[in-house]
Amino acid sequence: MNQRTLAYVAPEAYAFVKKDVEGLRAYGVTVHAHMFGTRSAWQVPVAMLRQLMFLLRVKRAGVRTVLAHFAGYHTILPVLLGFRTHIIIAGADACSFPGIAYGSFRKPMMRRAMAFSMRRAETLMPVHASLERFTNSFSRFGPREQGYARFVPRLQTPSVPITYGFDAQAWSPGMREQSRQGALCMAVGTVSGNAIHFRKGVDLIMEAARAMPAMSFTVVGSADVRSYTDLPANLTMLGRVSQGELSELLHRHSIYLQPSVMEGFPNALCEAMLCGCIPIVSHVTSMPGIVGDIRLVVPQRESHLLVDALNRVLALSMAELERLRELMRERAGSYTMDSRISALLSAIEEHSAMIGSTRP
């Protein structure tokens, strides 16, 4: 029996990975998923052995195509074993920010693994075109010239930008009246002083909260809330929450903050926009294009610029706020899962035969 079939490999089962797998299966694709599952360098050999067994098994079953999320150690074996490998570039695999210990290209061995894989892949699928080459003008945590094509010289592999997609029904604006004084940020895994703390701009938000005592701020997703011992009184730090809880939180806040040092195509930003939040973002990669020309893009990593943007929102009339919320929902709603999955399949089928025979 012949049917469309592929293997999907990723470092972990992130929410956006699960959405891809579910979306592909909904389109009738047989997906064999495997998570590499390493959190430290010493685990890599064991993880590669596990992945080798998985790849040999699916190859015997007739699978010839691998779709990989992120480039890294988990993309070495697919290209070595002759799979037609397509790599989704999602952010960390397009940058180097040594100042905050973020970005895969700052690690020499990982850099070699990514360059090896990217050069031998069938296609590279950045979640935004800017990830190929972009200028870091927002922070001083890394070099000015960024992007996977700058870190991998003479890269010839075709790049096909394909943005993430979202379910507008799952992130509806709701009926609850939003507080004009509330601003929220998603920073999953943040701990006081760690890489995520600085990458997501939690330190800037803390400074803005101190400068604006009449406004309330919420940061969601901390891995250790107790590590924050010097929070201003108007800032609430929460741990991880479910999708339903996050939706409720977004409905209670008017503003969504994403003053990040680096992002690929931030899911939380688009989900917040679908919930009717007004975004304030940094001038980094995809984010200015996602929100459009609304004068709420922070050009440099300075807390006073974040405060200025917040004050511009607070100065809007209720009618202006409602118009802006509707505009943001329309912009985020243009990125659908149907369009993403269709684009992924089209790119794969254009560059490789995704037909594999499966054994009964």
- Give the whole-angstrom CA distance, residue 214 versus residue 352: 57
Mean pLDDT confidence for 23-29: 96
Where is average pLDDT lowest: 128-137, 179-188, 305-314? 179-188
Contact of 77 with 52, CB cutoff 8 Å = yes
Q: Say yes or no: 310 and 231 in one domain.
A: yes
pLDDT value of residue 246? 93
Q: Work out how many domains the chain is built from and give that number.
A: 2
Strand partners, 97: 102
**Whether the Cβ atoms of residue 109 and residue 337 lie closer than 8 Å to each other:** no
Residue 174, in any domain of the structure? no
Q: Which residues pair with 282 in a beta bridge?
A: 298
pLDDT in tens, 145-178: 999 999 999 999 999 999 999 999 889 876 555 5
Residue 171: inside a domain, yes or no? no
One domain for residues 263 and 137: no
Indicate if 93 and 158 belong to the same structural domain. Answer: yes
pTM: predicted TM-score of the whole model, two decimal places: 0.94
Asked if the structure places residue 134 within a domain, the reply is yes
Q: Helix/strand/coil (H, E, C) string of 5-48? A: EEEEEECCCCHHHHHHHHHHHHCCCEEEEEECCCCCHHHHHHHH
Q: What is the pLDDT of residues 61-74, one digit of tens each?
A: 999 999 999 999 99
Residue 97 lies in a domain: yes
| 227 and 316 together in one domain | yes
Q: What's the one-letter identity of residue 259?
A: P
Looking at the fold, whether 220 and 303 belong to one and the same domain comes out as yes
Q: Are residues 216 and 71 in the same domain?
A: no
- Domain membership of residue 173 (yes or no) is no
Specify the CATH number for the domain of residue 227: 3.40.50.2000
Contact 199, 260 (CB under 8 A): yes
| Whether residues 119 and 192 fall in one domain | no
Residues 127, 37 share a domain: yes
Do residues 273 and 302 both lie within one domain?
yes
Q: Name the residue among 338, 247, 330 with its Cα closest to residue 27.
A: 338
Q: Is residue 273 located within the same domain as residue 291? A: yes
Distances (CA, A) of 148 to 120, 123, 160, 250, 343: 14, 13, 13, 33, 21
Q: What is the mean pLDDT of residues 227-242?
A: 96
Least confident of 4-13, 37-46, 297-306: 37-46
Greater confidence (294 vs 197) lies with 197
Are 250 and 316 within one domain? Answer: yes
Same domain, 217 and 322: yes
Asked if pLDDT for residue 85 goes beyond 60, the answer is yes
Range name among 32-41, 89-98, 253-262 with the lowest pLDDT average = 32-41
Is residue 172 one of the residues assigned to a domain?
Answer: no
Strand segments, DSSP code E, in 196-309 are: 216-220, 235-237, 253-258, 278-282, 297-298
Q: Which structural domain range is residue 291 located in? A: 179-333
Is residue 87 a part of any domain in this protein?
yes
To the nearest whole number, what is the mean pLDDT of the chain? 93
Is residue 102 assigned to a domain? Answer: yes
